[in-house]
Structure 1
Amino acid sequence: MAAHFGRRLRKGAATTAVAAAAVAALSASQAPGVTGEDHGRQAAAGASAPVPDAASAGNATGNSPYYTDLPPLNSPNPSPSPTMGTPVSRGEAEAGIPATVLDAYKKAEAELRSSKPGCNLPWQLLAAIGKVESGQARGGRVDANGTTIGHILGPQLDGNGFALIPDTDHGEYDGNSQYDQAVGPMQFIPSTWAWAGRDGNGDGKEDPNNVYDAALAAGHYLCRNSWDMSTEGGLHSAILSYNNSQDYLNLVLNWLEYYRKGTHSVPDGTGGVPSHRSDDGTEHHSTPKPSDPPKTKPKPGKPDPGKPDPSKPDPGKPGGGNDTPDPKPPKPPVPPKPPTPSDTVDHLADAGTAKLTAMAGDAFDQRISTRAETKAGMSVGKVRIRFTITGDTDATFAGGETVATVATDTKGVAVAPALQAGEKTGDFKITTAVVGHKAKGVDYQATVTARAADTLARTSDTPLTCTPGGEFADQVEVKATYKGAVADKVATTATLIKSDDDATENDKGPYFKDADGKAVRTLTGLQTDAKGLLTLPKLYADDTTGTFLLRITTTGGATLTVELKVAAADTSAGPSPSPSATS
């Protein structure tokens, strides 16, 4: 996990050379002219665009190995590549994506088009990453629900040729309680899936082995930080955050361009599986070490006449030559690895966070500050702190995520992104943890209050009058504000009351009508609009004359009392006489 711990994934030299040569060949025949809509495709061809630094943000796969096969060249009569030695041509088979896998990509795109329209995520980007990470779920070996037939696991990240990531999920996802492994068709490491996981097929579970869940999770992961896939910078940053490698970026961009030129559905289980991986040629932990005993036994046969037979005494040695051989000198002890900053953290402490309260729909004014400390209370810098929102809330961090990871500064303090309140009111909690290490965290309580208004005013000063048994010509419209700003979506109640001193509901005088046309004198469930305006339904009068009061109240305490008059029509002044005709 190079991006996770600042180490680069070790690749086989031969694989890197082959991939680089193939990228160059592909660039020569396929790279389009660069325009404002190429979204970084020139970078795939010549890597001329600057690569954003995504290392500090962590990554989805822990920089696990990936398939390095390139898309076929768009050439009708390909010639053998001088580097790769085999003809490469564009083929129908490579453009085919297994039906269920393709459906998962397209459903994820549709969901993100609604939930994060500013991301502009194309499903072809998910297909490109899915091809590179797992060969489209090993050619579409999934069941009817989209779950892979057999788990797709990367190598254990034990530091032997790969990043070192000790177990974070107790083996729940990868079955390994010692080290983490990338899991599923989109190859999430467990620590990332723990916060990025999504339920893409509506079965109530978030399963990294399900292509619908994994595709949706990958889409949300790529769209975090307000990255826009229609821009080169956003696209590159998102891909590099998945696996922090220039080779990986180039490879995904080439598959993205290939799939944009056209794809088709193939039956599940019939898709092609790539054959070259970025870890080809590297040593793994399973490679026999020099100290391991040989796995083959010597074959029985005649003794070599040039060597003494150990079953017979050697007259030149005391005791017949069967003395115990001298013991081998002990191996020198392996020096312990120096502790990382995270190893020294004993606990997390609050670093002066104020009370966390916000009105629904608003951003919290305060941000969470957490300090990493040793057992002796010393601050620890360069430690990654994970902040997680928990509880029944729709509040998020800026960017729409419920988890954020921030590194501590030189004073050991990590400041979480700003919190954004949703529409659900009530309390929720934010927990903290040191990424990859066990240390006592600190929890924070936050509260979302209902939207409120402190001022109500009519938008018109026209008197509200009516004759007995008639209807008021004008409807009551009011505007709500809070501290001078528009108060939108504020809950409001309107009641026809008996008097200024008696706010109980009046049983006579003006009234509203319900859906059945019956008289009602209290309206609840009202809400101001985006401009803070509220227009009440029409008012009607019974046969009672006089002056009546309508009281409007809002969450937050704003109150307005409106005067209504019901009086008989004035008929005391007769009709004006017609002017006399003159001759």
Structure 2
Amino acid sequence: MAAQFGRRLRKGAATTAAAALAVAALSASQAPGATGGDTGRQTNAGVSTSASDEAGTTDGATGDSPYYTDLPPLNSPNPSPSSSPTASSSSIGTAVSRGAAEAGIPATVLDAYKRAEAELRGSKPGCNLPWQLLAAIGKVESGQARGGDVDAEGTTLHRILGPQLDGNGFALIKDTDGGQYDGNSQYDQAVGPMQFIPSTWAWAGRDGNGDGVRDPNNVYDAALAAGHYLCRYDWDLSVQADMNRAILSYNGSQEYLNLVLSWYEFYRKGTHSIPNGTGSVPGHRSDDKPGGSGSGSGGSPKPGEPGSPKPGNPKPGDPKPGGPTTPPTVPPTATDTVDHLEDAGTAKLTAMAGDAFDKRISTRAETKAGRTVAKVRVRFTIVGDTDTTFTGGEKVATVTTDSKGIALAPALRAGEKTGDFTVRSSVVGRTVKGVDYAATVTARAADTLALVNATAPTGAPGAEFADQVQVKATYQGAVADGVAATATLVKSADDTGENDKGPYFKDANGNPVRTLTGLTTDANGLLTLPKLYADDISGTFLLRITTTGGATLTVELTVAAADPSSSPSPSPSPSGSASASASPSASAIP
């Protein structure tokens, strides 16, 4: 089928583009004259800043929460022996020492990254996810779980939270999980070592340590979820453009992309395991203000750390004891104005098993007065007994409406299970009328069958046919693989009932059978029937082959005794040799 080409895994070798770009960003940011405000925020003109249109989301996995901006050392974790030992720059000496320390990743955290890579290698081999990319994101998001502040099972010992996304310098995302993950029932906060916002974790969460729970505070669960998140949309991370898109989908900032690529290249040059709790914690983050503590996107500092309130002392801004408290004013959001969702012209959703759906779901967010609403997060959920997924293997996708109020869902890819199912659209964080979309997966089909044998099969009475019947199935001119077929020895062209005499197949016990069901074309659209046998009746007989989709082929079979008047030939005739050589093998069929 035409769509089979879309199912093929893309192969690609890792390029050196990331290294060049990361080094350029790193060199620029640590060059003389670079200011503190430039740290980790340089722009690479050579790196694509746009995520794939298929991503369709502007807030990423983290809600674009703040992140650590500390850069890796300029020197490799394993400096070359040829490096000059007489370098006079004190900054170089610091970098070499810091390089060895920064290259260490807490043992449990490192194991989680490598385990996630191994799982993705099996479940999504075309993604080519390197564990070093997870390490780079984990460094930028939480300082490797705040230096490995996790127990032996990988769960954080202290909660790692980003600031509440209340629109005050950050995105405005009201609570979507009832405080289940972040403990905040008013606004969402990024959670855990990989800093997922609750609404993203709701569909992207994974159980990475096999305990039956999907916990964003567990580094095994969070690392596996991050891997699947980066591998959606059939991105191949060995291709630099796809890696850029994946990173930008995690956090849609060019500075973030540059920083993650820098750490990725650093870890690729060498790393090692260190005990849990001994890793370094970055000191600067993207929302630092002059004079700020730089506590990092890992959330509130631990007790005793700089910036943590002393026991019994009020925090700045707390109401005075006994004084009146004023509830904070919650600013309205775009989501607050949505009254309902409307279909935005989605066509009929039908696809053949194994193929991508030609059409994508389009949903529009509207107010009660019918005005469109931009920047609303719409969740699409596949419901029903189906193995169909969105591109990338997910059952749920969250998309932000564009300037016209439209959310375009990722493409659907049919599985092998046929039948009807539903895709349900809803507004994240609010209960309003959504839209249900009916979709159907039909069986794989062929519309044409052609005989591969160069000559019609023949046999002698009471003997085995010399050649097996082989046919090729196509659909709209493309190979039709995995198509169900039936073969029946029929009475005549007008009477398709099963013949009770003439050629036959054999079942597992050697008994004659004249109808075969459960046949399936192979990956090349070929169907090779079992051997045929002739009874003692001579004549011309018909074999009828049909497939799902209506393709039909009738093959004439001839059973004739050898002509006794013909003299035997000591060697094959030229015509016989030509006929034999013209009969192609199955492997030679295009």
CA gap of 1:206–1:501, structure 2 versus 1, over 3 A, is: farther
Distance 1:390 1:364 in 2: 16
1:110 aligns to 2:137 (yes or no): no
8 Å Cα contact 2:445/2:483 also seen in 1: yes
Query: How far did 1:247 drift?
Result: 4.6
- Which residue does the alignment assign to 1:316? none
1:49 aligns to 2:56 (yes or no): no
8 Å Cα contact 1:67/1:274 also seen in 2: no
Distance 2:156 2:317 in 1: 38
Query: How far did 1:505 drift?
Result: 4.3
- Which residue does the alignment assign to 1:218? 226
Secondary structure of the residue aligned to 2:206 is coil
What is the correspondence of 1:52-71 to structure 2 with a 5 Å cutoff? 52-53=49-50, 57-71=58-72
Distance 1:514 1:192 in 2: 54
> Which one is further off, 448-457 or 49-58?
49-58
Q: Which amino acid aligns with 2:319?
A: D
**Sequence identity (%):** 72
Q: Give CA-to-partner distance per residue, 1:218-240, whole Å, 9 cap, x none.
A: 12222334544445544344333
8 Å Cα contact 2:25/2:262 also seen in 1: no
Query: How far did 1:154 drift?
Result: 3.0
Please point out which of 19, 22, 36 is paired with 1:38: 19
What is the correspondence of 1:459-474 to structure 2 with a 5 Å cutoff? 459-460=452-453, 462-474=455-467
Secondary structure of the residue aligned to 2:350 is strand
- Which residue does the alignment assign to 1:571? 564
Q: Which amino acid aligns with 2:131?
A: W
- Which residue does the alignment assign to 1:479? 472
8 Å Cα contact 2:74/2:95 also seen in 1: no
Q: Which amino acid aligns with 1:372?
A: A
Distance 2:363 2:254 in 1: 33
1:272 aligns to 2:253 (yes or no): no
CA gap of 1:247–1:573, structure 2 versus 1, over 3 A, is: closer
1:521 aligns to 2:521 (yes or no): no
CA gap of 1:388–1:277, structure 2 versus 1, over 3 A, is: farther
Distance 2:452 2:563 in 1: 28
Q: Give CA-to-partner distance per residue, 1:172-198, whole Å, 9 cap, x none.
A: 322332222222221111111122223
Q: Which amino acid aligns with 2:202?
A: A
Please point out which of 345, 359, 366 is paired with 1:352: 345
Distance 1:234 1:491 in 2: 37
**What is the total number of aligned residue pairs between the two structures?**
507
8 Å Cα contact 1:130/1:137 also seen in 2: yes
CA gap of 1:168–1:352, structure 2 versus 1, over 3 A, is: same
Q: Which amino acid aligns with 1:510?
A: P
Q: Which amino acid aligns with 2:164?
A: Q
8 Å Cα contact 1:373/1:412 also seen in 2: yes
- Which residue does the alignment assign to 1:183? 191
CA gap of 1:202–1:60, structure 2 versus 1, over 3 A, is: same
- Which residue does the alignment assign to 1:293? 320
Distance 1:451 1:78 in 2: 70
Please point out which of 388, 397, 409 is paired with 1:395: 388
Secondary structure of the residue aligned to 1:40 is helix
8 Å Cα contact 1:487/1:531 also seen in 2: yes
Secondary structure of the residue aligned to 1:463 is coil
Distance 1:452 1:444 in 2: 24
Query: How far did 1:472 drift?
Result: 0.9
Please point out which of 352, 355, 364 is paired with 1:371: 364
> Which one is further off, 494-503 or 103-112?
494-503
What is the correspondence of 1:490-569 to structure 2 with a 5 Å cutoff? 490-500=483-493, 503-514=496-507, 517-569=510-562
Q: Which amino acid aligns with 1:40?
A: L
- Which residue does the alignment assign to 1:235? 243
8 Å Cα contact 2:102/2:280 also seen in 1: no
Q: Which amino acid aligns with 1:457?
A: A
> What is the TM-score normalised by the length of structure 1?
0.75
Please point out which of 252, 259, 264 is paired with 1:251: 259
Q: Which amino acid aligns with 1:62?
A: G
8 Å Cα contact 2:486/2:547 also seen in 1: yes
Q: Give CA-to-partner distance per residue, 1:198-252, whole Å, 9 cap, x none.
A: 3434555433233333222212222334544445544344333323445533432
- The one of the two structures with greater contact order (alpha-carbon pairs below 8 A, sep at least 6) is 2
Secondary structure of the residue aligned to 2:423 is strand
Q: Give CA-to-partner distance per residue, 1:54-90, whole Å, 9 cap, x none.
A: 59532111233434444345387896659xx988723
Query: How far did 1:270 drift?
Result: 4.6
8 Å Cα contact 1:39/1:235 also seen in 2: no
Distance 2:454 2:234 in 1: 46
Q: Which amino acid aligns with 1:58?
A: D
Q: Which amino acid aligns with 1:433?
A: S
CA gap of 1:394–1:145, structure 2 versus 1, over 3 A, is: farther
CA gap of 1:253–1:365, structure 2 versus 1, over 3 A, is: closer
Secondary structure of the residue aligned to 2:533 is coil
Secondary structure of the residue aligned to 1:89 is helix
CA gap of 1:291–1:484, structure 2 versus 1, over 3 A, is: closer
Distance 2:169 2:116 in 1: 34
Secondary structure of the residue aligned to 2:98 is coil
Q: Which amino acid aligns with 2:353?
A: A
- Which residue does the alignment assign to 1:196? 204
Structure index of larger Rg: 1
> Which one is further off, 50-59 or 530-539?
50-59
CA gap of 1:529–1:440, structure 2 versus 1, over 3 A, is: same
Structure 2 runs not aligned, ≥5 long: 1-14, 29-41, 80-84, 301-308, 571-590
Q: Which amino acid aligns with 2:372?
A: S
8 Å Cα contact 1:62/1:189 also seen in 2: yes
Distance 1:89 1:131 in 2: 18
> Which one is further off, 464-473 or 71-80?
71-80
- Which residue does the alignment assign to 2:432? 439
Q: Which amino acid aligns with 1:45?
A: S
Secondary structure of the residue aligned to 1:163 is coil
Please point out which of 171, 175, 181 is paired with 1:173: 181
CA gap of 1:542–1:172, structure 2 versus 1, over 3 A, is: farther
Q: Which amino acid aligns with 1:49?
A: N
- Which residue does the alignment assign to 1:13? none
> Which one is further off, 86-95 or 428-437?
86-95
Distance 2:168 2:94 in 1: 32
Distance 2:159 2:321 in 1: 32
Query: How far did 1:510 drift?
Result: 2.5
> What is the TM-score normalised by the length of structure 2?
0.74
Query: How far did 1:118 drift?
Result: 4.9
Query: How far did 1:447 drift?
Result: 0.5
> Which one is further off, 60-69 or 275-284?
275-284
Distance 1:73 1:458 in 2: 66
8 Å Cα contact 1:73/1:89 also seen in 2: no
Q: Which amino acid aligns with 1:63?
A: D
- Which residue does the alignment assign to 2:129? 121
CA gap of 1:117–1:159, structure 2 versus 1, over 3 A, is: same
Q: Give CA-to-partner distance per residue, 1:482-519, whole Å, 9 cap, x none.
A: 33443222111223344445545445432334456554
Query: How far did 1:265 drift?
Result: 2.7
8 Å Cα contact 2:342/2:434 also seen in 1: yes
Q: Give CA-to-partner distance per residue, 1:156-181, whole Å, 9 cap, x none.
A: 33345543321111223223322222
Please point out which of 216, 235, 255 is paired with 1:208: 216
